Amino acid sequence: MLELIGASTVVVQPSLMEGLPVVIMEAMARHRPVISTFIAGIPELVLPGQTGWLVPAGEVDSLARAMAHAVRLSPEDLRQMGRHGAVRVAERHDIDRIATDLARLFAT
């Protein structure tokens, strides 16, 4: 999976039911913009126009429009979105910080 993410320009992960898919966090950590659905925890990370695109679940036309928009962006615009995504996922889901926070909670 990591090899496929690394070879991609944009990661498309449409879903009808999810919590917060790990593949989205992995893609963003690898500086890839994400196209996904506006459900559950996904909007916590994917910010339209900043780190990727969100579409309503099950709306194929919306998904196709988001994909068409992504392929029209310049490589620099995509890189910038990827950088924003990497920062966002690091701020919210850094394993070392989370482990430290949990250890502190368990110690009290």
Residue 94 in this model has a pLDDT that exceeds 80:
no
For 4-8, what is the mean pLDDT? 90
Position 83 confidence tier, pLDDT thresholds 50, 70, 90? very high
Please give the Cα distance from 107 to 49 (Å, whole number): 41
3-state secondary structure at position 28: helix
Domain count, the chain: 1
The predicted-structure confidence for 66-78, as pLDDT tens digits, reads as follows 999 999 999 999 9
Torsions phi, psi for 52 (to 5 deg) = 160, -150
| Predicted structure pTM score | 0.86
Please give the Cα distance from 77 to 71 (Å, whole number): 11
The predicted-structure confidence for 19-52, as pLDDT tens digits, reads as follows 888 899 999 999 999 999 999 999 999 999 999 9
| Residue-level pLDDT at 99 | 83
- Looking up residue 62, the CATH number of its domain turns out to be 3.40.50.2000
Domain ranges, residue 83: 2-107
